Structure 1
Amino acid sequence: MAKHLDLEEQEQLDQIKHFWAQWGNLITWVLIAVFGSMAAWNGWNYWQRSQASKASALYEVLQRATSAGDAEKIERAFNDMKDGFGGTTYAAQGAMLAAKALFEAQKVDAARAALTWAMNDANDPAYQGLARLRLAGMEIDAKAYDQAMKLLDSTFPAALVPLVLDRKGDALVAQGKNDEAKALYQQAWKAMPDRMEYRQLIEVKLASLGVDATALANPVEVTN
């Protein structure tokens, strides 16, 4: 009986050896790939958390520099953010904050550079679109209307489309093309949610062009 069991065990052992000889390498590589992926994922998460923490600290430095009106420190903090942590949301937010502060400090070229970086390299399409909108506004201020329209003819997230229409209307008004501007303002007004405060600004723009926005909300039906 013991000899029979020994033979059976030997047969099972031989089968295992044969199986491992045929599939052992593949199984080993699969396990290496699985555990390697898990380690890489954990490492990636740790790296992401580390990047976000460091970027957050720099963003606080940028905020303090903005409050103090220290343009040189604003530029330095933002440059450190985009160079070291450009893939974080903090860098995109920092670009918008820095651009506003630098523009107010009359450092227009530096503000433009921050917005251009955000437009091209921010990790969020919303921030890219906002930067493009702000750049278009700067071009309008500089009377570079063709360049402004070129920026505004790009693709934007759907939520920003009403603001794009509004900004195009601004460019047209600046050129004296009031009828074309009026049509774009009307589209922008209709596309915005009723409670959006910015809508009131468009109503003022329409009123200056002789259009009553309330008429857009309640069009008069024509009866035969």
Structure 2
Amino acid sequence: MAYDLEEQEKIDALKAWWERYGTASMVLVLAIVVAFAGWRGWQWYEAHQAEQAMGYYEALEAAAGQQGDDAVTRIKAASAALRTDYAGSGYTARGVLVAAWALQQRKDLDGARDQLQWLVGDKSSPAFQAVARLRLAGVLLAQKQYQPALDQLKGKAPDGFAALYADRRGDVLAAQGQKQQAREAWEEALKSLGTDPAAQIVQLKLDALGA
């Protein structure tokens, strides 16, 4: 096919451009395709992980509502799977709290402590970590491990937990027979609670201590 002069110039310009930039352009297009495929693959992986974690969480929650040794076994197995394989999932911290609560209700304090100690060490969930420290202090108090319980409550309490931490600290100190220190802790809790209905419970503790 014959081309006129203008068409031939365009073809020559295109060839020259391709010789200069063609390889780089192909590499760029390939990089974009690979990046897009990787992004879509990561999205699929994240969704799959979340779905799997949700399945373990639901199984744990169901087992927590049941009785018997078999239920305890399922609770621990589901929690172990979440902690081991899905530590970064939003379901894991909640599942560990559910497991700890369920085990504590069954008087398995060692099992509950194990769950909460893991969550206390999980730096990726600071809000759940604050709850775990409070509950772990309660478990340790039930086991009469007073100093380890106080260790969980020392320092500045996380935001929103000042009253709860002070109240629990008062519980531990009272159990140790340190009445004055317990009084100070409960008074601190009362000050933080203000008009919260929970203040009535703390006041009852103070009244009983005074009696």
- The two structures have a TM-score, normalised by structure 2, of 0.78
Contact 1:74 1:98 in 2 (8 A): yes
- Counterpart residue number, 1:102: 103
Q: 1: distance between equivalents of 2:115 and 2:66?
A: 19
Contact 1:140 1:148 in 2 (8 A): yes
Distance 1:58 1:14, change over 3 A: closer
Distance 1:128 1:35, change over 3 A: farther
Distance 1:28 1:116, change over 3 A: farther
Q: 2: distance between equivalents of 1:43 and 1:31?
A: 18
- Counterpart residue number, 1:158: 159
- Counterpart residue number, 2:38: 40
| SS of alignment partner, residue 106 of structure 1 | coil
> After the TM superposition, which residues 67-106 of structure 1 pair with which residues of structure 2 at under 5 Å, given as runs?
67-69=65-67, 70-106=71-107
Distance 1:133 1:12, change over 3 A: same
Residue by residue, what CA displacement relative to the aligned partner does 1:93-112 show, whole Å, maximum 9, x if unpaired? 12111112212222222221
| SS of alignment partner, residue 68 of structure 1 | coil
Contact 2:134 2:168 in 1 (8 A): yes
Q: 1: distance between equivalents of 2:52 and 2:60?
A: 13
**1:206 and 2:206 correspond:** yes
Distance 1:77 1:17, change over 3 A: closer
Please tell me the residue identity of whatever aligns with 2:51: S
Distance 1:19 1:176, change over 3 A: same
> After the TM superposition, which residues 2-81 of structure 1 pair with which residues of structure 2 at under 5 Å, given as runs?
3=5, 5=6, 9=10, 12-13=13-14, 16-17=17-18, 20=21, 25=24, 34-69=32-67, 70-81=71-82
Unmatched tracts of structure 2, length 5 or more:
none
| SS of alignment partner, residue 121 of structure 2 | helix
Contact 2:112 2:139 in 1 (8 A): no
Percent identity for Structure 1 against Structure 2 = 30
Distance 1:124 1:155, change over 3 A: farther
- The two structures have a TM-score, normalised by structure 1, of 0.74
Please tell me the residue identity of whatever aligns with 1:103: Q
Q: 2: distance between equivalents of 1:43 and 1:155?
A: 43
| SS of alignment partner, residue 96 of structure 2 | helix
Q: 1: distance between equivalents of 2:203 and 2:28?
A: 64
- Counterpart residue number, 1:176: 177
User: Over aligned residue pairs, what C-alpha RMSD do you find?
Assistant: 3.0
**1:112 and 2:113 correspond:** yes
Q: 2: distance between equivalents of 1:19 and 1:194?
A: 77
Please tell me the residue identity of whatever aligns with 2:59: V
Distance 1:32 1:156, change over 3 A: farther
Please tell me the residue identity of whatever aligns with 1:160: F
Residue by residue, what CA displacement relative to the aligned partner does 1:181-211 show, whole Å, maximum 9, x if unpaired? 223223223323634x43332232233345x
Q: 2: distance between equivalents of 1:89 and 1:155?
A: 26
Distance 1:66 1:122, change over 3 A: farther
Contact 1:51 1:85 in 2 (8 A): yes
| Structure 1 residue 158: Cα displacement | 0.9
Distance 1:14 1:150, change over 3 A: same
Q: 1: distance between equivalents of 2:16 and 2:121?
A: 61
